[in-house]
Amino acid sequence: MSEPLIVGAMVRTLGAYPSGWRHPGAHADPHTDAAVLRRIARLGEDAGLDYLFFGDWLATGPDLEYRDPYLLARIDPLSAVLYLAGVTERIGLIATVNSTYADPYATARATASLDVLTGGRAGVNLVTGAEPRAAANHGRDSHADNTARYDRAEEFVRALRLLWESWDEDAWIADAAAGVLIDPERLRAAAFEGAHVRVEGPLNVARPPQGHLPLVHAGTSPRSRALAATEADFALIAAPTLASAIDARAELRGLAQASGRDPDELKVVVPVLPVVAETDAAARGIVERLLLLVPIDDGGGNRDRVAFPPNRSLASFLDAAGAAGDDPSRRAAVDDTVPAATARAFAEVAASTVRVVQDRTGRRAGVDLTWRHLIAAHAVPAAFVVGGPAAIADHFEQWRDAGAADGFNVLSAFQPAQFEAFTALAAPELRRRGLLGRSGATLRDRLSLGAPRLAHAPVAVG
């Protein structure tokens, strides 16, 4: 029998879908993030999830209100996991660190501290950054190019591992009678100097319980995939389809093997955005509500708002659909029903939007599908998995059985109700099918990662 999937939650307090914060009852105020973070942590731990995952973004701006509202104002990820360390006992806590701007010694110190304080539940998601505005926030003229960022990231990983290994496991003697606290031969410097990173050490934090904290990495460039395959314990891949996930996982495992690793050491995890309710019909109703809450250019003044996206209009959708400039549809109101004959004439990119909306909401062209639905779904796409507990579990099971993923990062369209629905409705069905329910004293054990590959040679005993 296969072991359970890796199942964690990617925490976004303002919701993972841009209009989620507008849903009735949704959390919408970052000033009160503490309460919703505590709620998510307790729900996730009680449901048996393996970890809580916190991403990061090192800048903000008005454009994020429409694209990714959760990025506008958010708790620093290391602060979030340290806060939740005190209200959880078993669940893993993974924080994102941007190696382009972070200091390796400070990072090693903070993350080793987290691992000690949680008894081995900490993990690190290492990113190199994709937001050019972050450069000025860190006193730099420009964001480094992809090559420079990944050159630094590779050195950053090496420095982290050397620092985490500053203390051997048996370095602390604490012989009160003899007055001997440590064996100095089992304390070592990192003594690392690269082209981008230089650190001496040793680290002034005890050896992390896990030795090395699990490393996570995500990205699509060749350098990113290489870093994930050679250095990460698990890789996050953004794969919109089953076929693309199968291909991406196979590629990463192949790269891992070519680097001399056992490919089974590398876990491949994909994001999933389940919209969960007691029935499939109720879940489709939630998706429809989310689409209708997406701000669009409907003649009500949205287009005049700062940084309002230009693609949220009927004209923009019809351009994508291949409609002629004099097409009568261009004079329609956004809440008019889309004629079936018109939908059948759409170019493929728009026709696929019709199919997606029909599948996820039950709305049909020529019956009750409106232009508003299509504009929102086209402008703000999301790979929703929609349905009751069985539909969600079917998706997890299908992807596992096809070799597409070793696990899932669960996103919630809005908080806390959708995460509550996942943990209360979907999680028991996943557990019943053997898809959820891993165990282990540390996060590394729980994820079946095996012993870390040491950067230092251990000191010989005797």
- The average confidence (pLDDT) of the chain is 95
For each of the domains in the chain, give its residue range(s) and CATH number, in order of start.
6-278+384-446 (3.20.20.30), 295-379 (no CATH)
Average pLDDT over residues 347-354: 97
Of 109-113, 271-275, 323-327, minimum mean pLDDT range: 323-327
Nearest 10 degrees: Cα torsion 257, 259, 262, 268: -70
Average pLDDT over residues 348-368: 97
Predicted local confidence at residue 219, as pLDDT? 85
Average pLDDT over residues 423-439: 98
User: What does the pLDDT look like over 295-307, one tens digit per residue?
Assistant: 999 988 899 999 9
Predicted local confidence at residue 460, as pLDDT? 46
Phi, psi of 269 (to 5 degrees): -120, 140
461 pLDDT more than 60: no
> pTM score, two decimals?
0.96
Predicted local confidence at residue 130, as pLDDT? 86
Q: How is residue 55 written in tokens? A: 């991403």
User: What does the pLDDT look like over 23-35, one tens digit per residue?
Assistant: 999 999 999 999 9
Predicted local confidence at residue 457, as pLDDT? 56
Of 139-148, 348-357, 431-440, minimum mean pLDDT range: 139-148
Q: In whole angstroms, give the CA distance from residue 26 to residue 13.
A: 9
Cβ-contact 95, 124 below 8 angstroms: yes
User: What does the pLDDT look like over 253-294, one tens digit per residue?
Assistant: 999 999 999 999 999 999 999 999 999 999 999 999 999 999
